[in-house]
Amino acid sequence: MTLTLRKAVEFAGEQIHVLELREPTLDEVEKFTKEFQKNGSISAVRFLISLISGHPVAALGKIAARDFKAAEEYLANFI
């Protein structure tokens, strides 16, 4: 799934316009679960988006809340 961000974000000199999301692997779901247990849902979803999209966790903190929610809803189908 390609999620076009409502507003591009800049991180480390790079413009991020889209997030390329896909079904997570079992290993990624396991990592997500461990992150969820340690730090809660927002941190865990941001971590999973990072694993899948390849964008740093810190960069994802700059995306709009609605874009985060859209990514979270897509990934919820798999976790």
Per-residue pLDDT tens over the stretch 1-24: 999 999 999 999 999 999 999 999
How many domains are contained in the chain?
1
Is residue 79's pLDDT more than 90?
no
To the nearest whole percent, how much of the chain has pLDDT over 70? 100
Helix ranges (DSSP H) in the chain:
26-39, 41-53, 57-60, 65-75
Please state the rounded mean pLDDT for residues 41-45: 96
Structural domain harbouring 34: 2-75
Contacts of 37 (CB under 8 A, 6+ apart): none
Q: pTM (2 decimals)? A: 0.93
